[in-house]
Amino acid sequence: MKDSSKNTKVNPDMCFENVKTRGRPMKKLTEAGKNIIKNLAAIMCTEEEIASVLETTVEVLHNRENGEAFSELMKNGKEEGKASLRRAQFKLAERNPSMAIWLGKQYLGQKDSTETEVNVSAKEDAPVVQFIFKDTSMTEGK
């Protein structure tokens, strides 16, 4: 049985309404169109990709009827997408130590560091250099 809520086909006619002007009618986004734009922006689609899905041009999305709303929808959609991605990363960190380490480095200032100590001493006309490495992995950064 097919789930109709997962229908990915967009009907562009539902996304715009015509606004009468002196010349050619201008396309204005409907609520359905705004919702589609926000959802596409949330999965980091570009303006060109969104215009393609809506079967229009980027210029129509930026026209005087849509420009401000479109910019706001793009901004909000991308921020929702980032939050969703961050949520998925934190969930993955519960099972994946590499992700937990990466998140610690990004958000907690933790870092991998190795301290090197150099001792130089002279032995029979030739200096001897000794390197001592101390692993201080995952220390708090500044």
Mean pLDDT (whole number) for 36-46: 95
User: Per this entry, what is the length of the chain?
Assistant: 142
Residues 112-140 have pLDDT tens digits of 877 777 666 666 676 666 667 666 555 55
Q: Is 0.85 topped by the overall pTM?
A: no
- Assess contact for 37 and 77: CB atoms under 8 A: yes
Tokens 């200096």 label which residue? 127
Mean pLDDT (whole number) for 88-93: 91
Least confident residue range of 32-36, 76-80, 129-133: 129-133
| Residue among 130, 83, 74, 138 nearest 108 (CA) | 138
How much of the chain is helix, strand and coil, in % rounded to 5? 45, 25, 30
